[in-house]
């Protein structure tokens, strides 16, 4: 089995790794919780590659594993009902949860509780972006440097949204005029109908054209000259598309 590596240059995560590593020789329970898609399971797999991993949603499999194993990783732990009834004694249990309420029941069950930082909280975010951009470019077979707008990357769903927005930006940066025509052709072919399609789809061209021009030139007068439009005509179109 190929070893799992966890990419990090974060002091917060280093402390989690140190704590979990110290418990490798102890039969104690630990809980790692935090937002979804922050790499919790990947981190645990990098530290405990030989352990048994059980989804808390699978009650039968979980009960069987608890009977036969003294080291167990339980993920989706927040889905577990009546977890306080599970016997953790003389076992090394590591629970992974996307969210958990801090209660006395939780504190009694787990000797160590760690919180995984979200991507917005990590001080090594640049390292992660560089890693995933390089990986994505290789998947898309783009073997040349591409500068991205880091500020517009989506971190709302952590690694999931980061990777999706990296794909989008890389596609936007490498797309050409023929690609745009083909995309528009396919979109219009699938969606064009009715009796007023020309006017209905006109905004598909005009709105991004005017919005990009306003952002680029920061002047309606300059943009009117660039587009070859009367300034009053441009102002009217800006109002029609709600761009003022």
The domain that holds 22 is classified in CATH as: 3.40.50.300
Residues 153 and 185 grouped into a single domain: no
Q: How many domains does the chain have?
A: 3
Residues 16 and 75 grouped into a single domain: yes
Q: What is the pLDDT of residue 152?
A: 92
Residues 225 and 129 grouped into a single domain: no
Q: Which two tokens stand for residue 233?
A: 């005509």
Nearest-CA neighbor of 98 among 115, 85, 113? 115
Residue 47 falls within a domain, yes or no? yes
Residues 16 and 113 grouped into a single domain: yes
Q: Which two tokens stand for residue 216?
A: 């680029």
Q: Is 208 helix (H, G, I), strand (E, B) or coil?
A: helix
Query: What is the mean pLDDT of each successive set of 10 residues along the chain, which is 244 residues long?
Result: 80 95 90 96 94 92 88 93 80 92 82 95 95 93 91 96 95 92 94 89 91 93 93 92 86
Q: What is the pLDDT of residue 2?
A: 62
Q: What is the pLDDT of residue 194?
A: 85
The last residue of one of the domains, among 86, 106, 121, is: 121
Residues 51 and 101 grouped into a single domain: yes
Q: Which two tokens stand for residue 69?
A: 């194993």
Q: What domain range includes position 90?
A: 11-121
Residues 39 and 106 grouped into a single domain: yes
Residues 31 and 94 grouped into a single domain: yes
Whole-angstrom Cα distance, residue 146 to residue 137?
A: 9
- Count Cβ atoms within 10 A of the Cβ of residue 17 and give its class: 0-12 exposed, 13-18 middle, 19 or more buried: middle
Residues 148 and 219 grouped into a single domain: no
Residue 37 falls within a domain, yes or no? yes
Beta-carbon contacts of residue 164 (< 8 Å; ≥ 6 apart): 154
Residue 73 falls within a domain, yes or no? yes
| pLDDT tens, position by position, 46-91 | 999 999 999 999 988 988 988 888 899 999 999 988 887 877 788 8
| pLDDT tens, position by position, 1-16 | 566 789 999 999 999 9
Residues 34 and 56 grouped into a single domain: yes
Q: pTM of the full predicted structure?
A: 0.82
| Cα distances (Å, whole numbers) of residue 224 to 150, 209, 240, 242 | 30, 12, 16, 17
CATH number of the CATH domain containing 207: 1.10.10.60
Q: What is the pLDDT of residue 147?
A: 92
């Amino acid at each position: 089995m190929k070893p799992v590596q966890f990419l990090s240059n974060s002091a917060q995560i280093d402390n989690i790794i140190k704590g979990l590593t110290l418990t490798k020789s102890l039969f104690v329970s630990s809980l790692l919780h935090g937002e979804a898609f922050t790499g919790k399971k990947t981190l645990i797999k990098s530290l405990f590659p030989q352990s048994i991993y059980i989804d808390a949603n699978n009650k039968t499999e979980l009960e069987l594993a608890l009977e036969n194993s003294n080291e167990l990783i339980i993920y989706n732990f927040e889905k577990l009902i009546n977890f306080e009834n599970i016997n953790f004694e003389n076992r090394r249990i590591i629970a992974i949860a996307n969210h958990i309420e801090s209660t006395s029941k939780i504190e009694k069950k787990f000797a160590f509780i760690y919180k995984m930082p979200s991507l917005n909280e990590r001080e090594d975010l640049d390292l992660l972006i560089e890693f995933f951009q390089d990986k994505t470019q290789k998947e898309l077979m783009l073997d040349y440097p591409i500068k991205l707008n880091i500020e517009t990357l989506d971190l709302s769903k952590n690694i999931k949204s980061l990777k999706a927005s990296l794909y989008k930006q890389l596609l936007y940066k490498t797309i050409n005029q023929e690609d745009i025509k083909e995309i528009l052709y396919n979109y219009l072919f699938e969606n064009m109908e009715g009796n007023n399609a020309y006017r209905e789809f006109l905004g598909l061209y005009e709105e991004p054209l005017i919005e990009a021009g306003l952002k680029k030139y920061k002047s309606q007068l300059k943009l009117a000259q660039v587009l070859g439009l009367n300034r009053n005509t441009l102002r009217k179109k800006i109002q029609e598309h709600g761009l003022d």
